[in-house]
């Protein structure tokens, strides 16, 4: 059932009791029901019906939404009539409204006055100053991983390509992999966690740090596939994180600091201007 056909079923299923002094619905929309002066419209229910669902599911989803909507309205209206701490609730609502309004205003000012991202110079300065706090928690590598069928052609040639991994060999591997490889991952231009690569290779590594420091070329196989791993560069756990990996985190740190500093400065300026302009009236102690 599509969205346009489930509504008549719901309308037939619902019994709506209208009070004599009920409010009038929006004449530009199709009302389904009214409770306590609140109207539920067909377009609201249509929006929650997923596309391409069958008749039964459409009806069940719509009926469930309608029951929840009616229950929420009745609970809210009953609560308003019976609660005694209305002033406390109004104070909480006003406090939240004030906080939300201030937050939206601050965000708008930040968008208008602060750069979208810190400068490269600032990020590198932060990295150099706090590099002792940017320590790797796992081993990372650069290189390539090629996985081919066990009986793939040119096995010895492919091995020599991966072992050398120069510009010509990389071009040959790229062309070869298009027709023969099960998977080819080149990550010579970015750092990846060793653990992520090892998930793709049938190897049991007891000492990952020793593994990366002792191997530049690794070849292994299972019953169906052959694996070639070339390690171009590595850093082990405990060393300083490379700048290119830390860059995004540094940018977030600097942006958050800039935002906090901006808000603090902005609040101070508002206060000082108000005092200077005598917008604030201080009463003398008697």
pLDDT at 262: 93
Q: State the Cα–Cα distance between residues 139 and 180, nearest whole angstrom.
A: 30
Q: What is the mean pLDDT of each run of 10 residues along the chain (286 residues)?
A: 53 46 80 92 92 89 94 92 89 95 94 90 96 94 96 93 94 94 95 95 92 95 95 96 95 95 94 89 80
pLDDT at 147: 97
pLDDT at 201: 94
pLDDT at 4: 52
pLDDT at 22: 57
pLDDT at 9: 52
pLDDT at 17: 41
| Residue 162 · residue 169 · CB < 8 Å | yes
User: In b/e form, how buried is each residue of 95-126, taking b as 16+ CB within 10 angstroms?
Assistant: eeeeeeeeeeeeeeeeeeeeeeebeeeebeeb
Q: State the Cα–Cα distance between residues 42 and 29, nearest whole angstrom.
A: 8
Assign 26 to helix, strand or coil.
coil
Question: Rounded to whole angstroms, what are the CA distances from 165 to 54, 158, 181, 204, 272?
Answer: 56, 10, 16, 25, 64
pLDDT at 118: 92
Domain boundaries, the chain: 3-82, 135-235
């Amino acid at each position: 059932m599509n969205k346009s056909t489930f509504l008549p079923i719901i309308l037939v299923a619902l019994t709506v009791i209208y009070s004599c002094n009920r409010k009038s619905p929006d004449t530009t929309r199709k009302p389904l029901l009214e409770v306590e002066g609140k109207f539920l419209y067909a377009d609201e229910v249509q929006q929650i019906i997923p596309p391409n669902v069958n008749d039964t599911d459409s009806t069940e989803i719509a009926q469930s939404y309608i029951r929840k909507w009616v229950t929420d309205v009745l609970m809210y209206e009953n609560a308003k009539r019976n609660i005694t701490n209305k002033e406390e609730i109004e104070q909480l609502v006003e406090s939240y409204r004030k906080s939300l309004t201030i937050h939206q205003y601050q965000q708008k000012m930040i968008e208008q006055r602060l750069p979208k991202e810190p400068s490269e110079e600032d990020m590198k300065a932060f990295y150099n100053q706090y590099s002792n706090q940017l320590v790797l928690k796992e081993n990372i590598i650069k290189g390539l991983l090629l996985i081919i069928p066990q009986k793939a052609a040119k096995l010895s040639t492919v091995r020599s390509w991966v072992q050398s991994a120069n510009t010509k060999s990389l071009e040959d591997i790229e062309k070869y992999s298009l027709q023969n490889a099960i998977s080819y991952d080149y990550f010579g231009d970015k750092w990846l966690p060793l653990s992520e690569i090892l998930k793709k290779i049938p190897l049991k590594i007891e000492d990952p740090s020793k593994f990366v420091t002792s191997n530049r070329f690794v070849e292994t196989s299972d019953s169906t596939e052959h694996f070639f791993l070339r390690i171009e560069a590595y850093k082990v756990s405990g060393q300083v994180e490379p700048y290119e990996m830390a860059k995004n985190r540094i940018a977030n740190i600097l942006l958050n600091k800039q935002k906090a500093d901006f808000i603090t400065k902005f609040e101070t300026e508002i206060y000082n201007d108000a005092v200077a302009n005598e917008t604030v009236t201080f009463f003398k102690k008697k």
